[in-house]
């Protein structure tokens, strides 16, 4: 039985986020000085769904990540989310030993919204998307 590891999938997604120009990437947390780092995107590992043939029902993995795109304005947050989508959707994010078994898909978790967190000097704007990376042994 093959049970796919989540870590290599997360590493591929995080590396892709880090390669997007003029966008800071965070792995589970915002940068230390959020207002100085905008725009940025934060990767949050989400859920995983296993499937596969009867002989190995855990072989296929739908690895899901929540990516929050953040900007100092509504337009900046939307632009950051658009750039993340443009990088993620055509990407081959299968780690070593696995292949993509379909394209990356995206579902909007919530539309652009203002974050009025009292700890922040001024509000930030965020867009939350859920991406699914489908892989299989290969």
Q: Which domains does the chain have, with CATH numbers?
A: 7-137 (3.30.2000.10)
Instruction: Tell me the two tokens of residue 117.
Output: 């967190």
Q: Buried b vs exposed e over 21-33: b needs ≥16 C-beta within 10 Å?
A: eebbbbeeebeee
Residue given tokens 């855990």 in the structure block: 58
| Phi, psi dihedral angles at 115 (to 5 degrees) | -105, 105
Write out the two tokens for 45. 């590992």
In contact, 69 and 129? CB cutoff 8 Å: yes
| Segment 79-128, tens digit of pLDDT | 999 999 999 999 999 999 999 999 999 999 988 999 887 677 788 999 99
Q: What is the C-alpha separation between 5 and 11, in angstroms, rounded?
A: 11
Cα–Cα–Cα angle for 121, 125, 129, rounded to 5 degrees: 140
Rounded to two decimals, the pTM is 0.91
- Output the pLDDT for position 116: 84
């Amino acid at each position: 039985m093959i049970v796919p590891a989540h870590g290599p999938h997360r590493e591929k997604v995080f590396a892709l986020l880090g390669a997007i120009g003029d966008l800071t990437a965070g792995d589970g947390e915002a940068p230390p000085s959020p207002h100085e780092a905008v725009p940025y995107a934060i990767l949050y590992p989400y859920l995983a769904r296993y499937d596969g043939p009867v002989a190995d029902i855990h072989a296929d993995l739908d690895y899901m990540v929540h990516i929050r795109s953040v900007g100092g304005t509504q337009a900046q947050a939307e632009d950051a989310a658009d750039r993340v989508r443009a990088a993620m959707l055509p990407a081959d994010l299968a780690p070593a030993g696995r292949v993509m078994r379909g394209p990356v898909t995206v579902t909007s978790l919530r539309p652009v919204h203002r974050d009025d967190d009292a700890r922040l000097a001024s509000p930030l704007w965020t867009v939350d998307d859920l991406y699914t990376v489908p892989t299989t042994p290969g």
